[in-house]
Amino acid sequence: MHPLPIALLGYGRMGKEIEKTALARGHRIVAKIDREPDWENQTQGLKEAGVAIDFSTPAAAASNIARCFDIHLPVVVGTTGWLESLPALQERCLHERQALFHAANFSIGVHIFLSTARFLSQKMNPLPDYAARIEETHHIHKLDKPSGTAIRLAETAASQMTRYRGWRLSENPSQTACQEVIPVECRRIGETVGTHRLFFESETDSIELTHTAHSRRGFAMGAVLAAEWLCEGRTGCFGMEDMLGI
Ligand code: NAD
């Protein structure tokens, strides 16, 4: 792989972790955009960049992606909580032959977890005694609720089970007895990196599938690998399934 000149969009916890991983893989960081005015201050670095990696905020991500498209810069997005803007950006991406790679979770383990959740939900579909529920736990700084991965997990489970028509945020765990939607409970605790759990519970027993991230390094590695993959000349809108083939 040729060394990539990378622009970091967002230089918080994830931006710093991505910098370490990118440098360790021989890439260069040519711009660090961490607030709105940096788009003006760092025009030289942005001109040099071959790819941008965005781990910023839900409020900033969509306009950051649009700005990358304006300068025809391929962009990898890990920020969550901006998906209402995806259809318009996707259309622009395809129409203008831009390159966008987005994932609510760049951990390869999470994608194995999601595909196992799909399989398990299929098996539970004919067993109405089991109620599905989801729990996610993240650090107190996380702005979006539920996490993008919890939404993906809930949509995956609901899509495999005819008795559920979707999911809903469960503010109060004691109110989880709704028959038609999967309750998703969100916990924000200390500096926890991220845990997602899918439960199937009956009066006689319970089944629990859990993914726990131990550090941010797994997300950073996934994002840098996605940047390398995107820069192999790809145009279009991609996700982890495209890169991993699962
Ligand atoms: P953070 O709060 O530590 O960092 C966010 C940074 O974005 C801050 O430094 C902030 O100054 C900066 N920022 C604000 N406005 C900006 C703008 N207009 N342009 C560029 N940067 C701007 O957050 P974090 O823990 O690094 O997480 C960032 C995002 O990534 C969150 O949405 C989080 O949920 C998501 N995340 C995704 C994954 C994944 O695998 N996809 C993993 C971890 C976190």
Index of the ligand 1 atom closest to the CA of residue 105: 40
162 touches 182 (CB < 8 A): no
Helix (H) or strand (E) holding 101: strand 99-102
Predicted confidence at residue 172, as pLDDT, reads 67
Predicted confidence at residue 231, as pLDDT, reads 97
Known catalytic residues are 138, 142
What is the chain's pLDDT, residue by residue, as a tens digit (246 residues)? 789 999 999 999 999 999 999 999 999 999 999 999 999 999 999 999 999 999 999 999 999 999 999 999 999 999 999 999 999 999 999 999 999 999 989 999 999 999 999 999 999 999 999 999 999 999 999 888 999 999 999 999 999 999 999 999 997 655 555 679 999 999 999 999 999 999 999 999 999 999 999 999 999 999 999 999 999 999 999 999 899 887
pLDDT tens, position by position, 5-14: 999 999 999 9
Predicted confidence at residue 179, as pLDDT, reads 77
Index of the ligand 1 atom closest to the CA of residue 16: 26
Q: What are the pocket residues of ligand 1 if the criterion is a CB atom closer than 6 Å to any ligand atom?
A: 9-15, 33-36, 55-58, 60, 64, 78-81, 103-106, 141-142, 219
Contacts of range 190-193, beta carbons closer than 8 Å, 24 or more positions apart: 190/139, 190/140, 191/139, 191/140, 192/137, 192/138, 192/139, 193/138, 193/139
Q: Best substitution site from 34, 54, 67 to test ligand 1's pocket, by max atoms within 8 Å of Cβ?
A: 34
Q: Best substitution site from 57, 68, 76, 217 to test ligand 1's pocket, by max atoms within 8 Å of Cβ?
A: 57
Helices (runs of H) and strands (runs of E) counted in the chain? 9, 11
Please tell me whether residue 53 adopts helix, strand or coil conformation: strand
pLDDT tens, position by position, 104-155: 899 999 999 999 999 999 999 999 999 999 999 999 998 889 999 999 999 9
Task: Name the closest-CA residue to atom 16, ligand 1.
Answer: 35
Predicted confidence at residue 53, as pLDDT, reads 98
Could you give the percent of the chain with pLDDT greater than 90?
91
Burial class (CB in 10 A: 0-12, 13-18, 19+), 36: exposed
**What radius of gyration, in Å, describes the C-alpha atoms of the chain?**
19
Predicted confidence at residue 2, as pLDDT, reads 87
Predicted confidence at residue 211, as pLDDT, reads 97
Index of the ligand 1 atom closest to the CA of residue 80: 32
Predicted confidence at residue 31, as pLDDT, reads 98
Tokens of 179: 């028959």
Task: Name the closest-CA residue to atom 40, ligand 1.
Answer: 105
* Complete domains list, the chain, with CATH: 5-106+217-244 (3.40.50.720), 108-213 (3.30.360.10)
